[in-house]
Amino acid sequence: MEYEVYAIAIDDTYIYYRCPFDLRLIHTHGSDEDLLNRVEFRSGHQSGDCKCKNMKINIGDYTERITLIKGGYYWKKSLKSKKRLKLIYQLQKDKKYIKKKDR
């Protein structure tokens, strides 16, 4: 069984999405420094506190380019990351961004 989710945030390390079984939980999936809109599949291991796997993760214009920081059970937005990620996102859209591993 596959579950479809919509990413709430993305940064150059992770894609953040809410668990379909417990909306208070946020799971992460590697973003590979790619902030562009796309669909990602996460089939592998179970993630920590819950049983979800086989996720189809949608990244779109509704996905904020921002880092989420975990503080206890809750997650908050890192406003500091917003400017930097906005710039990287724009550079990627203009195809002017080179990933760290390709430098």
User: Got the DSSP string for 40-85?
Assistant: EEE-SS--TTS---SEEEEE-TTSEE-EEEEETTEEEEEHHHHHHH
96 SS3 class: coil
CB-nearer residue toward Zn ion: 23 or 79: 23
Q: Are strands 14-18 and 26-30 parallel, antiparallel or unpaired?
A: antiparallel
7 binds Zn ion (CB under 5 A): no
Q: How many residues bind Zn ion (CB under 5 A)?
A: 3
Smallest separation, CB 42 to Zn ion (Å): 10
Smallest separation, CB 3 to Zn ion (Å): 9
Residues 27-66 that bind Zn ion (CB under 5 A): 50, 52
Binding residues vs Zn ion (CB under 5 A) = 19, 50, 52
